[in-house]
Structure 1
Amino acid sequence: MTPPVRIAVLGAADFARRRMLPAFAAREDVVLAAIASRDPDKARALAGAHRCRALHGYAAALEDDDVEAVYVPLPAALHARWVRAALLAGKHVLAEKPLATTAGETAELLDLARSRGLALVENVLFPHHSQHARARELVASGAIGELRSFRAEFTVPRRAEDDIRYRADLGGGALSDTGVYPVRAALLALGDDLRVAGAVAVRDARLGVDTGGTALLHTPEGVSAQLAFGLDDAYRNTYAYAGTEGRLTVGRAFTPPADHAPVLRLERGGEVTEVRLAAEDQVARAVGAFAHAVRTGGMPDPDVLRQAVLLEDIAARAAVAAKPGPEENELKDFRHVE
């Protein structure tokens, strides 16, 4: 029998406590070996609740011979540093998204993992749910005719101002948080040759981060992808394919609860058909996929780098769009004279 992967968690992030630690505990192919925190009291409290060892400081987990892999749920700006350190220490890594804050660093980390024969997985959960494969099958079968466009939206209401998502120094912002989901969904739906046509972002000047935005992407064949993301909006969590003969919508696309039974909505010829699917726990499936990658020598998913390149391009296009053009400057000068 294959032994379970012994994993340590770096930090005591809320998402780790709510979703990942219960998933680790529920599976037989992983064992939670330790909780490492800069705060020894937090480490002891969380480790006691999960019957594992408490370690003081993140480096302690990397130096521990009983730990095979680490889970990194730290703020985005700290991901690259600790992912790199873990790989250099010979540990497999499951890291929260985004893997790094730049495409260059992402490529470097993926290369390092390959060179050392270690599993490196970005913890984007929704692709592990089979509702997305079923949606792609329906589109490929011609259920909506010839595909013309794709639209994906993931926006959430505003949180407390001290939330790390609003901390520029910690890599916060809507694009790196909720924007990852529609971008990855577009890659899954339309393939890896997507290009960014344009983007805009809403920026909170006081906080120094973007709180929302939209992007327009396209394939070489002209199929478009309209993406929306936000941290200060009404809740939206969906995507849809539109074709020459119909439309296919996936609701609760990115964060369905384990007991949620998906319903794909197919509109065609004035009729609506509901395609009902079984409930699945995408968190458990993601943990299982990581354990399998560790034990089988699985290589990093190339979509991780493609996603990073697109996110960087979207950010650059949004920055350009925010700058006033020559005509706007002339108008400002005219108003100033007035």
Structure 2
Amino acid sequence: MRLGALATSSIAHRRVLPTAVSMPEVDLIAVAGRSVEKAGRFAEQFGCAAERDYAALLKRPDVEAVYISTPTALHRAWADRALRAGKHVLIEKPIGVNADEARQLCSLARERGLVLRENFMFPHHPQHAFAADLVRRGRIGTPSTFQASFCIPPLPADDIRYAPGLGGGALLDVGVYPLRAAVLLLGPGPRVAGATLRTRASDGLDLSGQALLISPSGILAQVTFGFEHVYASSYTLWGDRGRLSVTRAFTPPAAHQPVLVLEEQDHEERFTLLASDQLRLCLEDFAAAVRKSEAGDGRAEADKRRDAIALLECVDEVRRQAVRVMTDDGPQGSCLQVPS
């Protein structure tokens, strides 16, 4: 797969491009950024060409797919341009800032017969299939409750995730992980029953939050996310016979050996799994999809598009229903005021 990198983001530099250039399935052709100098440094490090800007990269005939890691608010615009240029697209999550943007991009990808994927890595990790199999085999009995959290400590004050105009906020950055996990484990189509968001008073940026969901089968799900906590990345499935817990659920290092814990009334069982590089698996899956000629109409791509739209529909509903708790202007604001 002949790949172009559109944007010189931190995740591109630290994670995605180092993995991509180590894979025989990927040939990194060129990189473009807002800064020609920074693009040049990326090109030198990763052994590819540097383009003067994003538009020039999209014009290259030797680039068949692009990886887009711009700020979230720019995802729709540049994915749209890439698809119209005939390029397959792997875009950092989420695909846009709302469901309307997701629908527009998914419709365009379907019309053009192109692959459009979000760079959600964690669903590719085998630990989640293992967890789902335990549930299917009845090890926790009848599931009734799902709890998931993805929280990180406060970020530097100038981090773009604190910029509302760039698609910042905890819901779009970390909240989409436990929401996506709820769909992965409980099935598509959960309803939002309620939500809360701790919101910065000066600009409305959400710093953390919770949401209560109901799956189509009636399982209750509670998700927690935010920029105001010690690190947590986990989920738990409870049933009438047992409780299954997964730690390091969303961002396990490639060398991490997952340990899933199954608690029963008088028994605890631990399952230690092999380490797995979920980013490499995600890129391999994208490259394999690009190789297929029926990308626009294939069932796998239709499912990916459905999931991307459904996730942002859920995000939109969380925003709509949220009771907002106002904080002061600092990233770690502690002066609270509940709107009347």
Coarse TM-score class (shorter-chain normalised): over 0.9
State the one-letter code of the partner of 2:264.
Answer: R
Once residues 164 and 220 of structure 1 are traced to their aligned partners in structure 2, the CA distance between those partners, rounded to angstroms, is 36
The aligned residue for residue 317 of structure 1 is: 321
Any conservation in 1 of the 2:99–2:312 contact (CA below 8 Å)? yes
Matched, 1:36 2:38: no
Cα pair distance change 1:323/1:282, threshold 3 Å: closer
Give the aligned partner of residue 54 of structure 1: 50
In structure 1, the gaps of 5 or more residues are 325-330, 333-338
Alignment of 1:207-246 (within 5 A): 207-246=203-242
Match of 2:180 in 1: 184
Contact 1:166 1:207 in 2 (8 A): no
Who is 2:108 aligned against? 112
* Equivalent of residue 289 in structure 1, options 282, 285, 291: 285
Counterpart pick for 1:95 among 91, 94, 100: 91
Residues in 2 aligned to 1:226 and 1:135: alpha-carbon distance in whole angstroms: 18
Q: Is the 8 A contact 2:121 2:278 kept in 1?
A: yes
Match among 181, 185, 200 for residue 204 of structure 1: 200
Residues 1:172 and 2:174 are matched in the alignment: no
Query: Partners of 1:167 and 1:310 in 2: how far apart?
Result: 22
- Structure 1 position 307 matched with structure 2 position 303: no
Aligned runs of 1:79-90 on 2, under 5 Å?
A: 79-90=75-86
Residue 272 of structure 2 is aligned to residue 276 of structure 1: yes
Structure 2 distance, partners of 1:270, 1:315, is 41
CA contact (8 A) 2:208 2:228 kept: yes
Output the CA distance in 2 between the equivalents of 1:220 and 1:121: 25
CA distance in 1: counterparts of 2:224 and 2:167, whole angstroms = 19
Structure 1 counterpart of 2:319, one-letter code: A
Q: Quick one: distance in 2 between partners of 1:207 and 1:256? A: 33
**Among the aligned pairs, what percent are the same residue?**
45
Q: Distance in 2 between the 1:197 and 1:87 partners?
A: 36
- In the alignment, which of 19, 22, 28 is matched to residue 18 of structure 2? 22
Q: 1:122 deviation in Å?
A: 0.5
* CA distance, structure 1, for counterparts of residue 125 and residue 230 of structure 2: 24
State the secondary structure of the residue aligned to 1:322.
strand
For the Cα contact (< 8 Å) 1:167–1:207, is it kept in 2? no
In structure 1, distance between residues paired with 2:324 and 2:125: 36
Match of 1:121, SS state, is strand
SS at match of 1:179: helix
Number of paired residues?
320
How far, CA to CA, are the matches of 1:170 and 1:322 in structure 2? 21
Structure 2 unaligned residues grouped into runs of 5+: 296-300, 327-338
State how far apart, in whole Å, the 2-side matches of 1:98 and 1:219 are: 21
Higher Cα radius of gyration = 1
Contact 2:153/2:228 (<8 A) preserved: yes
Code of the aligned partner of 1:108: Q
Give 1:146 shift.
0.7
- 1:323, CA displacement in angstroms? 8.9
Q: Deviations over 1:273-316 (max 9, x none)?
A: 00111000000000001101111144240211111111111111
